[in-house]
């Protein structure tokens, strides 16, 4: 009994909540970019008027107020739009290549990479401090410490 009530009450509500709307937007491709087609803009929502605030009348006397070539008010023809789209695509491809190269460099730990050089510098600073502290506490100089390490390791003769 409860199952039939749930299916008759909930499923129609869920079905209408996730149903696609009747207004659809169609896209056409212009030189690899997406732009709204004219048929989609005509059928989108003709019942709602577009109201603009006239800020030019209010602030027109201000010397810093721009009234010409304002972004959003510039009407572009298709040739200029296609040029802009191709320039943006080239810029996007350039930055994508740089991002991929940077990700590769960040992952590389061996070789002459910035990350490997940073590790090498940090280890060098650490062991220099360790050598100086050892020299301070024992009185053996850094070359003397290296000689002692080579003798203990068996790389040079003990009798020298």
Rounded Cα distance, 73 and 70, in Å: 6
Q: Which of 85, 58, 57, 56 is nearest to 68 (CA)?
A: 56
Residue that the structure tokens 């009185």 belong to: 139
Rounded Cα distance, 104 and 107, in Å: 5
Could you give the C-alpha distances from 57 to 53, 60, 67, 68, 74, in angstroms and in order?
Answer: 9, 5, 10, 14, 18
Quote the pTM value: 0.35
- Mean residue pLDDT of the chain comes to 75
Identify the pLDDT of residue 42: 53
pLDDT over 50 (residue 22): no
Report for 1-10, 60-69, 138-147: range of highest mean pLDDT:
138-147
Higher pLDDT, 15 or 123: 123
């Amino acid at each position: 009994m409860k199952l039939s009530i749930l299916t008759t009450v909930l499923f129609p509500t869920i079905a209408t909540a996730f149903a696609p709307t009747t207004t659809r937007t169609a896209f056409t491709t212009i030189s690899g970019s997406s732009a709204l087609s004219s048929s989609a803009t005509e059928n989108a929502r003709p019942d709602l008027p577009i109201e603009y605030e006239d800020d030019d009348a209010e602030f027109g006397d201000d010397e810093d107020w721009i009234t010409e070539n304002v972004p959003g008010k510039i009407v572009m023809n298709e040739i200029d739009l296609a040029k802009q789209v191709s320039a943006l695509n080239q810029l996007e491809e350039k930055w994508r290549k740089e991002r991929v190269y940077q990700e590769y460099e960040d992952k590389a730990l061996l070789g002459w990479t910035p990350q490997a050089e940073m590790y090498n510098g940090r280890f060098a600073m650490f062991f220099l401090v360790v050598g100086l502290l050892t020299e301070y506490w024992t009185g053996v100089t850094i070359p003397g410490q290296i000689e002692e390490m080579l003798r203990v390791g068996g790389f040079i003769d003990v009798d020298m």
